[in-house]
Structure 1
Amino acid sequence: MTVTQDKPLHHHTGAGLPAPFAVAGTGVHLPPTVVTNEQLTRSLDTSDAWITSRTGIRERRRLAPDLATSDMCVDAAHQALDAAGTAPAQLDAVIVATYTWDQPLPSTALIVKDALGAHRALSLDVTQAACASGVQAVLIAAHLLQNPSITTILVLAADCASRITDPTDRTTGVFFGDAAAAVVLTRSETAGAGLLSYDLGSQLSYDVQVPAGGSRLPTSASTLAAGAHYLRMDGRSVWNTATTRLPESITSAARQAGVPLDEIRHFFLHQANLNLLTETVKAMGVPQDRVPVTVDRLGNTGSAGLFTALHSTVAAGGLQPGDTYVLSGIGAGFQWGTLCLRHA
C-alpha cells in the first residue's frame, strides 16, 4: 500500500507556550550486546560495505532476551533523575514513547512508573507515531507544564526493534538497534525558555507498518506463519518522505518561532540513517557540526534516536543557557513533527 494521494496533508503550526521549562537531566540505556555489520553478513545477504554506504551504520545494540522495553526505560530514567537531582516521588507525569511496548496491556508507562516508585505521577503512553512519538511526547509534556500544579515530567523514548524485525529481511535487519533515552523536564524561572513553536504534519501511508496483531487482522496461526507481525518498510518511500518533510517542518517551526536557521545552535534529529541526516542538513544549509550523530554506532533506535543525540550533547556540556534547539522526527503513518525550544 502506498501514500494516499487524493487527500490533503494534515499540517499544523503553532506558537510557543508562556510557562518556561527546561531540560534538567538526561539519560540513556544502551544494551551491552553489540552487533556489527560483519556479524549481520553471516545471516543476511549483504556486506559491510553495502550497509555502510547505504546507511552509515557500523554497529547497533541488541537487548537481552529476558529484558523488555520497560527495563531499558527504568535504567535510562534513573540516570536522568540523578542528573536532574530529582526523586521519583517528585514526578508529576511519566510519559513513555514507544512502538515496542512490553505488552498490549497494561500500560508500559505504568510499569515504568511503578518500578521507579513515582506513585503520584500520571502515566501516559504515546505509541503509534513510531519514530516521531518522542516529539509528540515532549509536546504533550510542554502543555502539561503550563498547569501551575505540574512542575516535573519524565519523558522516555525507547524502542526494541529487534523484537519485531524479521531476522531474514535485510531491508529492516540492518537498520535498527535497541535503546532507551530519558529527559526530565522541569518548570523554570527563566523567561523565554521552553517551547517557542512547533510544527506537525501527517499523511496516511502503509509503507511502514506492522500489519497484524490489531482488530483488523488479529493474531492467528496464519498471520504468524506469514510473518505479518514483523515490521515492513518501503525504504525508498521513507527516504523520499523524510528528506522532504523534515526540512520543511524544521524550517516552518523556525519561522514560526522567529528564529533564523543559522541561529539555531543544535538540531537533534531522528537518527534514521546517516545518509538521510546528511541530505536533511544539506537541504537546510546548516553546518554539519550542529547536528549530532549517533546512528553510526547505535543504528536506527526509533523514537529514542533524537534523544540519544540530545543526551550526547548534554553529557558533553554542549547545551548552554540561551541555546535555541530543535527536536525533529518522522515516523510510520507517516507522521512528522518539529519542536523549537530555548534552553534555560
Structure 2
Amino acid sequence: MRTEKIGIEATSVFFPERIETAKDLSKKTGIPEQVIIEKFGLHQKHVSDDSMQATDLGIEAARKILSKIDPLSIDVVIYFGSPHKDYLVWSCAPKLQYELGTKNAYAFELMNVSSCFPIALKVAKDMLRSDEKIKNILLVGGCKESQIIDYENPRSRFMFNFGDGGTAALLTKNSSNSEILESSIITDGSFYEDVRVPAGGSKLFPSLETVKNRQHYIDVLDPSSMKERLDPVSIPNFEKVIRQAVQNSGYSLQDIKVLLPLHTKRSMFRELLHTLQIPEENTIYLDHHGHMSALDPCVGLHFAQEQGKLREGDIAVAVSAGTGYTWAATTIQWG
C-alpha cells in the first residue's frame, strides 16, 4: 500500500542554439526534404557545437530547476542520458554533482541507451520509497548523438533524426504535482549486436585503421535483417509495456490522456497511436527536435505541461525503446 506520493515535482529542458533543418539534412544525405519531413517526422533538430558536451547540455537544463530550490537539498543525482559523453571510459555523474552544486548528493549513472527515462523513473521511485533518508532525486540527461552520425553511411539512415539537447526532472516524496505509478519493461537480447559504434571498445580498439574505415560512428550491422526481426515485435512490445504499466497502476489503455513516446519515424508513431486508440493531439511528437537518446519522454513531459495537456488526475505514460533491445513504460498520474 502506498503511503507517500512519490512524483515528479519539476522538469526542465535546454537546447543548443544551432538548428539543422530538413533542408540542411537533405543536402547532407541526398534524401528529399519532404521525405525527411513526412517519413522521418523531422522539420528540424538542434545540434551542439564543440563548446558543449552531453553533460553540459544536461547541466544547463538542471540549473533551471535548481534556480528554484536549494541545490543542497538534493540527495541523489542520476545521469540517465546518452552513453556518448565527454570521454569513453568515464563517469559523468561526479561532474554533474560538482557543477550543479549538489554537494550533499551522491551521484551515479543509469545507462540503457534510448529506453532509460521510464526505467530511471522506476529506479528513482523505488529508491525514494525504500530509503527514508532520501527526499529528493535529480534526474539529468544530455544528448550529443548528432555527432556520431555518418551521413554517408546508408545503413545508419534511420538514425539521421538524432539531435542534441538536455533535460532534467526532480523527483520528491509527497510531490504536489504528480505521482509515479507502475512500470513495465521488456528486453529481447537477440538484438544485442545490431546497433553499435563498432570501434572504441575492447572488441575493436581504436587504431588508424578504425578511423580510416569510419568505424567510430554509430552503425547497423545488417539493416534488412534487423528490420525483418524487429518489425513483427516492435509495436506489440510497445503496446504490451504500455498496457501492463497502466493496468498495474489500476487503470486501462482507455484512461491514458497523454502519451509521451520517444521520437520515431512518423509511420511507426501513427501505427502505435492507432493500436492504442489514442488521438494524435494527446501526444507529444518531437518533429522540431528529433530523437535525443533517452531524453525524449522527459522532454515530452515538459512540453505537455507547457502546452496545458495535463490536468488534475490525468494519466500519462512515458514510453521508450532502446537498441539491444529494451521497451519500457512508466505511468504517471498528474496533479
Q: Corresponding residue for 2:9?
A: 24
In the aligned structure 2, how far is the partner of 1:178 from the partner of 1:115? Answer: 20
Q: Which runs of 5+ in 2 are unaligned?
A: none
Aligned residues between the structures:
324
In the aligned structure 2, how far is the partner of 1:292 from the partner of 1:76? Answer: 19
1:30-86 Cα offsets, whole Å, 9 max, x none, are 11111011112222221102212321111111001121011101110012334xx32
Q: Indicate the SS of the match to 1:119.
A: coil
Which of 20, 25, 28 pairs up with 1:43? 28
Residue 136 of structure 1: how far off its partner (Å): 1.7
Which of 196, 207, 214 pairs up with 2:194? 207
In the aligned structure 2, how far is the partner of 1:238 from the partner of 1:48? Answer: 27
Q: Corresponding residue for 1:228?
A: 215
1:87 corresponds to 2:70: yes
- Contact 2:121–2:180, Cα closer than 8 Å, also in 1: no
1:254 corresponds to 2:246: yes
Q: Indicate the SS of the match to 1:145.
A: helix
Aligned residue type for 1:119: K
- Contact 2:119–2:330, Cα closer than 8 Å, also in 1: no
Q: Corresponding residue for 2:117?
A: 134
Bigger drift between 60-69 and 308-317 goes to: 308-317
- Contact 1:17–1:196, Cα closer than 8 Å, also in 2: no
- Identity over aligned residues, as a percent? 21
- Contact 1:96–1:157, Cα closer than 8 Å, also in 2: yes
1:186 corresponds to 2:169: no
- Contact 1:19–1:194, Cα closer than 8 Å, also in 2: no
Q: Corresponding residue for 1:321?
A: 312
In the aligned structure 1, how far is the partner of 2:65 from the partner of 2:233? Answer: 33
Residue 92 of structure 1: how far off its partner (Å): 0.8
Over aligned residue pairs, what C-alpha RMSD do you find? 2.2
Q: Which runs of 5+ in 1 are unaligned?
A: 1-15
Q: Corresponding residue for 1:165?
A: 149
Q: Corresponding residue for 1:305?
A: 296
- Contact 2:8–2:175, Cα closer than 8 Å, also in 1: no
In the aligned structure 2, how far is the partner of 1:271 from the partner of 1:277? Answer: 8
**CA 1:262/1:20 → structure 2, altered by over 3 Å: closer, same or farther?**
same
**TM, length-normalised to structure 2:** 0.90
Q: Indicate the SS of the match to 2:272.
A: helix
- Contact 1:91–1:121, Cα closer than 8 Å, also in 2: yes
Q: Corresponding residue for 1:33?
A: 18
**TM, length-normalised to structure 1:** 0.87
- Contact 1:239–1:276, Cα closer than 8 Å, also in 2: no
In the aligned structure 1, how far is the partner of 2:149 from the partner of 2:55? Answer: 19
Q: Corresponding residue for 2:206?
A: 219
Q: Corresponding residue for 2:324?
A: 333
In the aligned structure 1, how far is the partner of 2:194 from the partner of 2:283? Answer: 27
